[in-house]
Amino acid sequence: MKLGYYSYTTHLDHDVEDMHPEHPMRIIAINHALEQSGLMSDMLLGGCAYVAQKDLLRAHKEGYIKQLIAMSPANGMILADPDTHMMVGTLDAAYQAAGCVINGLDDIMSGKINRAFCAVRPPGHHAQKSKAMGFCFLNNVAIAAKKAQLEYGLERIAIIDFDVHQGNGTIDILADDPNFLICSSFQHPSFPFSHWQNIHSNIINTPLGVGTSGIDMRRAVEKQWLEQLQKFKPQLTIVSAGFDAHKDDPMAELNWQAADYAWLGAFLSDINKENSDNKILAVLEGGYNLEALAASTHQFIDSFR
């Protein structure tokens, strides 16, 4: 499989306080692990550009985008919500994060690569049509999903979200559209405390109790997702890849290990294995212990090969 890796240095301008968990060292740690292992040299390295307005407006309300521009500070920091810090460079970083994911999608759809991992921040899966929250401003996965649907004409797009915190923003944007099948695993109860019941026709929720092990996660995923995904036969799989379920992560109370993320990568690779293209676009979401994040991300990406 041809694998691409998409990241950028402008995320450094989204320089939240040192004590904030969603800080620039997250991507630096991932890059270091991939370079040390030699995996970085085996991948196509992609850059990014600002996301186009037309791509943004497929997922977000125009008034919300204008609001983000208006509230972007000229100096210092403001709070978009109690957890979501907005600095001078935050909006540029968010635009380029979404642009990275769009570039990965375009390269997959052109046949340049089959798989992509986008190491971007700020993350996106909590961003709703008209609301920033949970460290997120623009919903990178939903923006790419809507472009795949409306510009590339795909009719079966799987969205896989395995973050500790459910991707409520992605659900807000894509719920009840039969072109999307959303499979979401998350700790319950936990932030954002919404959408955890199966109230939408195209969503499979997999809530996991405190202390859930990687083995128990694997059993739940196989039981609840496998048959539905095989029936759906996705033309593209887009992944909200959160690595905060690791046992050492300070933001959660699950008990996964790095090898469980390798299992998830292999599981997703096998879903559509009869399709030689088997297109997968993965996007970084959570993960806040640097050592655990780096090891888990490396194993997940390596499992694609």
**Which residues form the catalytic set?**
126
**Omega within 30 of 0 (cis) for the link into 178:** no
